[in-house]
A and B are shown apart, each in its own frame.
Chain A
Amino acid sequence: EIVLTQSPATLSLSPGERATLSCRASESVRSRYLAWFQQRPGQAPRLLIYGASNRATGIPDRFSGSGSGTDFTLTISRLEPEDFAVYYCQQYGTSPRTFGQGTKVEIK
């Protein structure tokens, strides 16, 4: 199965700062089938990005995704208070579908 490794585990930033989250796959992700999810405490995950770089419906344009092959990035251009949460990458090009272990974005 494809193992996804996210870094860093925790990112401590202030509101207004830029966040850069990394997701590295153990083998190439087919057709850029890589998604990013946001999970706030006590809530279900929410789809942010699919196909590596496409924003889901209603997602603000401060969220952007990039990458291909084995290296992918989620960027939040300017952190808003509601953006402090855990972010997961997930590949859906190869079965079994797998998730990264998550990156927590916390307030510095």
Chain B
Amino acid sequence: QVQLLESGPGLVKPSETLSLTCTVSGGSLTGYYWSWIRQPPGKGLEWVGYMYYSGDINYTPSLKSRVTISVDTSKNQFSLKLSSVTAADTAVYYCARIPRLGQPRELTFDIWGQGTMVTVSS
């Protein structure tokens, strides 16, 4: 069964770049979209962006100028970079899979990682 696992620093300084990786096990990146979603402490969920394994990308407008999502099919991983972070970027960051149109559960976030907490503080 497909599993996702986030990894990366738990503490990032203000104005620096947050970098996270999601490792996919039990399946391939091929044929799916791969996404990041975040959740500030005690708050709701916010979609950050997604990337198709072969390159199609879509980011949420409020973060578009600071976000980069990339996919490495050779390592079965995808990554998130968020630049110029502030305290408002403190959150649990989740990675998730999105089946493409025509696949079961098409276009939904059907499998999630456990999440990783990132705190922005000096």
Contact = CB atoms under 8 A, between A and B. Distances in A.
B46 A44 contact: no
Nearest to A99: B45
A56 B114 contact: no
A23 interface: no
B44 A100 contact: yes
Interface residues of B, number: 17
Contacts of A35: 108-109
Given A47-B105, A56-B110, 15 more contacts: A35-B109, A37-B45, A44-B115, A45-B109, A45-B112, A46-B112, A50-B108, A51-B108, A54-B105, A92-B107, A92-B109, A97-B47, A99-B44, A99-B46, A102-B44
Given A56-B105, A96-B60, A96-B61, A47 B47 contact: no
B44 A88 contact: yes
A51 B108 CA distance: 9
B52 interface: no
Interface of B: 44-47, 58, 60-61, 94, 105, 107-110, 112-115
B113 A47 contact: no
Interface of A: 1, 33, 35, 37, 43-47, 50-51, 54, 56-57, 88, 90, 92, 95-102
Contacts of A45: 45, 94, 109, 112
Contacts of A92: 107-109
Nearest to A49: B108
